[in-house]
Structure 1
Amino acid sequence: MSETPVAEMSFEQAMAELEQVVGQLERGDVALEDSIKLYERGAALKARCETKLKEAEEKVAAITLDSAGTPTGLTPVDGH
């Protein structure tokens, strides 16, 4: 497991670690106490992925095209 706090992970980081967690749990070669910790970490990673996907959906939904086909409604991701 990564030491990176889940709240600081990108979607890709969270998804990659979630896949690792699921793999470990599916193999069943982890002690019960560690399985519980993995499950909790997996739940947090899943929530992070859902949040990042929702943010992306909202950004895409804000994009519209004008009569010339030029995207409008764009806002810079980094606030610039």
Structure 2
Amino acid sequence: MSFQSRHPLSAQNLFMTEVEHRQSLRQRMALTLAVWRERMRTRHCLARLDARSLRELGISPAAAAFESGKPFWRSLGPLR
């Protein structure tokens, strides 16, 4: 049996690990850049979806437009 949380991981949750104090500045910067890169990729893909695809996913076009217009340093919000 698998478990999937209903709460998405956020950058804050990724940084709040118990090994945080052992991570170097370089590792923390690399993690931050990876999160930002993933947000940019996700928002770019979201912006390219047409209205039919958005309806199939249960996402309103207004929510998709709002989310895809956010800067990469802001976390992803709910899309439904």
TM-score, normalisation: structure 2: 0.41
Flag the structure with higher helix content: 1
Report which of the two structures shows the higher radius of gyration computed on alpha carbons: 1
Flag the structure with higher strand content: 1
TM-score, normalisation: structure 1: 0.41
